[in-house]
């Protein structure tokens, strides 16, 4: 078994007060993810950032306010979780970190078969990335202290989905 940590969308626009698509309460999960990242690094295990990166006229903005536009401050990883040279950063254009990215190849190159997934939003990008990971045969762990959904109802629903439908291990 080889583990990797996926840090999903811990970007200014989702986390900071001034962010254009702020996930309420997401600041609370930052210290936990920071520690988790350090643990992975201590054990020489890969840390991969999945980052929303949109063009100005992205079709996603028909559904959501403009956010994480490539080259803007809002699209940057928050200060507390700045990656170092050994971390991997993958840009994505939609909810799943596997869609039109080389995440799957990267994980195979690294020999990873087990994913820890943390970040936001629990019911959107964490959800679809975790679902895709399970369909590709990865073992998935989600630490509940390391994810945040849009609402408490979303979080309750996702806990059930993760456990009962996707056989994801909740920590
Ligand atoms: Zn987006």
Alpha-carbon distance 147 to 125, whole Å? 11
Q: How far is the CA of 32 from the centre of ligand 1 (A)?
A: 23
Do strands 3-8 and 47-52 pair parallel, antiparallel, or not at all (unpaired)? parallel
Q: What is the pLDDT of residue 145?
A: 98
Q: How far is the CA of 151 from the centre of ligand 1 (A)?
A: 18
pLDDT tier, 108 (very low <50, low <70, confident <90, very high otherwise): very high
Do strands 114-120 and 139-142 pair parallel, antiparallel, or not at all (unpaired)? parallel
Q: How far is the CA of 124 from the centre of ligand 1 (A)?
A: 10
Q: How far is the CA of 139 from the centre of ligand 1 (A)?
A: 25
Q: How far is the CA of 68 from the centre of ligand 1 (A)?
A: 7
Q: How far is the CA of 13 from the centre of ligand 1 (A)?
A: 10
Which residue from 90, 116, 132 is spatially nearest to 33, judged by alpha carbons?
A: 116
Q: How far is the CA of 20 from the centre of ligand 1 (A)?
A: 11
Q: What is the pLDDT of residues 59-105, one digit of tens each?
A: 999 999 999 999 999 999 999 999 999 999 999 999 999 999 999 99
Q: How far is the CA of 120 from the centre of ligand 1 (A)?
A: 11
Q: How far is the CA of 44 from the centre of ligand 1 (A)?
A: 30
Question: Taking all residues of the chain, what is their mean pLDDT, rounded to a whole number?
Answer: 98
CATH class for the domain made up of 3-170: alpha beta
Q: How far is the CA of 128 from the centre of ligand 1 (A)?
A: 13
Domain ranges of the chain: 3-170
Q: How far is the CA of 1 from the centre of ligand 1 (A)?
A: 32
- Enumerate helices (H) and strands (E) in the chain, giving the number of each: 5, 7
Q: What is the pLDDT of residues 122-148, one digit of tens each?
A: 999 999 999 999 999 999 999 999 999
The size of the chain, in residues, is: 171
Q: How far is the CA of 133 from the centre of ligand 1 (A)?
A: 19
User: Can you read off the two tokens belonging to residue 10?
Assistant: 């811990």
pLDDT tier, 151 (very low <50, low <70, confident <90, very high otherwise): very high
In this prediction, residues 20-46 reach a mean pLDDT of 98
pTM over 0.85: yes
Q: What is the pLDDT of residue 62?
A: 96
In this prediction, what percent of the chain has a pLDDT beyond 90?
100
Alpha-carbon distance 78 to 16, whole Å? 8
């Amino acid at each position: 078994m080889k583990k990797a940590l996926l840090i999903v969308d811990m970007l200014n626009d989702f986390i900071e007060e001034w962010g254009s698509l702020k996930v309420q309460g997401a600041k609370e999960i930052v210290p936990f993810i920071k520690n988790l990242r350090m643990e992975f690094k201590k054990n020489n295990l890969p840390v991969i950032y999945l980052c929303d990166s949109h063009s100005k006229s992205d079709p996603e903005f028909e559904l959501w306010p403009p956010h994480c536009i490539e080259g803007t401050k809002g699209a940057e990883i928050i200060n507390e979780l700045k990656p170092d040279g050994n971390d991997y950063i993958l840009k994505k254009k939609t909810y799943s970190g596997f869609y039109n990215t080389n995440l799957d190849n990267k994980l195979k190159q690294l020999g990873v078969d087990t994913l820890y997934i943390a970040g936001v939003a629990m019911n959107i990008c964490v959800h679809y990335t975790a679902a895709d990971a399970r369909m590709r045969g990865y073992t998935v762990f989600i630490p509940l202290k390391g994810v945040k959904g849009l609402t408490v109802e979303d979080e309750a629903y996702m806990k059930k989905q993760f456990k009962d439908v996707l056989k994801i291990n909740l920590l």
